[in-house]
Amino acid sequence: MDWFLWMMCLAMCGVVSGAKFEDLYQPSWATDHVVYEGDVIGLRLDNFSGAGFESKSKYMFGKVSIQIKLVEGDSAGTVTAFYMSSDGPNHNEFDFEFLGNTTGEPYLLQTNIYVNGVGNREQRLDLWFDPTTDFHTYSILWNQRIVVFMVDETPIRVHKNLEDKGIPFAKDQAMGVYSSIWNADDWATQGGLVKTDWSHAPFVASYKGFVIDACECPTSNDLSKCSNDKRFWWDEPTLSELSLHQSHQLVWVRANHMVYDYCFDATRFPVTPLECQHHRHL
């Protein structure tokens, strides 16, 4: 697509891209725990409250990205989340959840996928860098054929559309974009064995680089404009699967940093979930 057509698409097709928090987002709860420091937004957790923000609109397909610097030092018991979600009990959702740890121990990054209200698709990995010392970019690419979770543009998880195998795929509900920090010491660190040490509060997660490059759907009646429309870059056939280089990156991540995959948890799932049987061959 040439530059002129792309700009026309930005103007006409409901695509939003921005770098300022207030252009795209608004605080969603505990506004007194949302800290503004120039282009950086902080979410603060203490023993009174956590905090969160949400996108001003909802979207169908595209790419959302955000740069996060996670809680420094002892973050045990805390969870910082960045995710997309629709509304209602039968919602769709794509989750990044950063599970805090004691000083010197690595953060764990948990991803999860809900389709029609059904989740339990957790994967966990440790990162190849310290996410508390600098900002890193976390992204979700979503089109009608694939969902890709990325860290600094390296794919860490792929979820393909397998409707032809009888497996539902998230493609019929617009999603908002959200982030929050909260206390989850009943499960977040070593299965809840390590509790939050409130003497280290407040715990602050910092954000910048707010980008939403997606099809905007202010109401549920606008979904059709975001589907079956080749004007969008994310509908290009080449984006229905990873490139060879990305495939190699994903193999490296899984081999060196994956610490839990629900697909191999025979205790929870005596019968391997159907999507796992097919995703193993990606």
Q: Going from the N-terminus, what domains does the chain have, and what CATH number goes with each?
A: 15-279 (2.60.120.200)
| Contact (Cβ atoms closer than 8 angstroms) between residue 119 and residue 103 | no
Residue 93 annotated to the active site: yes
Q: From CA 60, how far away is CA 235, in angstroms rounded? A: 12
Which pLDDT value is given to residue 105?
Answer: 87
Q: From CA 263, how far away is CA 249, in angstroms rounded? A: 20
Write out the two tokens for 121. 């698709």
| Contact (Cβ atoms closer than 8 angstroms) between residue 34 and residue 25 | no
Q: At which residue do the structure tokens 């930005």 appear? A: 10
| Contact (Cβ atoms closer than 8 angstroms) between residue 98 and residue 88 | no
Amino acid letter, residue 227: S
Q: From CA 152, how far away is CA 253, in angstroms rounded? A: 13
Q: Which of 153, 152, 208, 202 is nearest to 182 (CA)?
A: 202
> Which of 22, 37, 54, 93 is flagged as catalytic?
93
Q: From CA 261, how far away is CA 195, in angstroms rounded? A: 24
| Contact (Cβ atoms closer than 8 angstroms) between residue 107 and residue 131 | yes
Edge-first strand order for the sheet with 51-55 is 25-29, 51-55, 176-183, 78-85, 93-99, 108-114, 123-126, 258-261
pTM, 2 dp: 0.91
pLDDT along the chain (282 residues), means of 10: 40 54 95 95 97 96 97 94 94 96 90 96 96 97 96 97 94 95 89 90 96 85 72 88 95 97 95 84 48
| Contact (Cβ atoms closer than 8 angstroms) between residue 70 and residue 80 | yes
β-pairing, 78-85 with 93-99? antiparallel
Amino acid letter, residue 92: N
Residues in the chain: 282
Which pLDDT value is given to residue 88?
Answer: 85
> Which of 22, 54, 72, 97 is flagged as catalytic?
97
Q: Which of 16, 35, 71, 10 is nearest to 210 (CA)?
A: 16
Amino acid letter, residue 242: L
β-pairing, 108-114 with 123-126? antiparallel
Residues 6+ apart with CB under 8 A from 54: 25, 26, 28, 176, 177, 178
- In Å, what is the CA distance from 2 to each residue of 7, 8, 105, 214? 9, 10, 47, 18
Q: From CA 66, how far away is CA 256, in angstroms rounded? A: 24
Which pLDDT value is given to residue 54?
Answer: 98
Which pLDDT value is given to residue 103?
Answer: 83
Q: From CA 40, how far away is CA 24, in angstroms rounded? A: 14
Q: From CA 97, how far away is CA 181, in angstroms rounded? A: 10
Residue 97 annotated to the active site: yes
